[in-house]
Amino acid sequence: MRPMRLGLLAALFIAVMAPVAAMAAPKAPTVDSAARKQGMADAPAIVQAAGVDCQVSDARLAGKGAKDPKTGVTPSVYEVACGPGSIGFMLQTNGTNPPNVFSCLISNNPPDGKPNPNGCILPANLDESAGIAALTAKAKVPCTPQAIRGIGATPDKTLFEVACPNGAGYIVTGSNPLSVNKDAQALNCLAYDAANANIKCTLGTAQARLTIADSFAAKATPPCAVKDRRFVGLLTDGTEGYEYACTDGKGIIVKVDTKGAVTQTLNCANVPAGSCTLTDSRAASAEQAGLYTKLAKQAGSNCTVTRYAVFQSQGDKEVVELVCGDGAGAIGMFPATGKGQVIDCGHALLAGYKCSLGKPDYAGLTADLKKFNKNDCQVSQTASPLKAPDGSLRLEVACADGLPGYVINYTDPNTPKEAVACAFAGNCTLPTNKKKG
> Does residue 310 sit in helix, strand or coil?
strand
Terminal CA-CA length for the chain: 62
Contacts of 68 (CB under 8 A, 6+ apart): 74, 75
Q: Give the pLDDT of residue 178.
A: 95
Q: What is the pLDDT of residues 2-25, one digit of tens each?
A: 333 333 223 333 333 333 332 333
Q: What is the pLDDT of residues 112-162, one digit of tens each?
A: 888 888 889 999 999 899 999 999 999 999 899 999 999 999 989 999 999
Q: What is the pLDDT of residues 374-423, one digit of tens each?
A: 999 999 999 999 988 888 899 999 999 999 999 999 998 889 999 999 98
Amino acid identity, position 4: M
Amino acid identity, position 146: Q
Residue 273, pLDDT > 70, answer: no
Pick the CATH number of 363-433 from 2.60.40, 2.30.140, 3.30.360, 2.40.30: 2.30.140
Round to whole Å and give the CA distance between 59 and 122.
7
Q: Give the pLDDT of residue 99.
A: 93
Q: What is the mean pLDDT of residues 169-189?
A: 94
Round to whole Å and give the CA distance between 273 and 409.
41
Domain 213-279 grouped into CATH 2.60.60: no
Contacts of 103 (CB under 8 A, 6+ apart): 87, 88, 89, 150, 153, 158, 176, 177, 178
Residue 27, pLDDT > 70, answer: no
The phi, psi pair for 172, rounded to 5°, reads -105, 135
Q: Give the pLDDT of residue 357.
A: 86
What order do you get walking across the sheet with 58-64 strand by strand? 58-64, 76-81, 89-94, 97-103
Q: Give the pLDDT of residue 186.
A: 92
Q: What is the mean pLDDT of residues 249-253?
A: 87
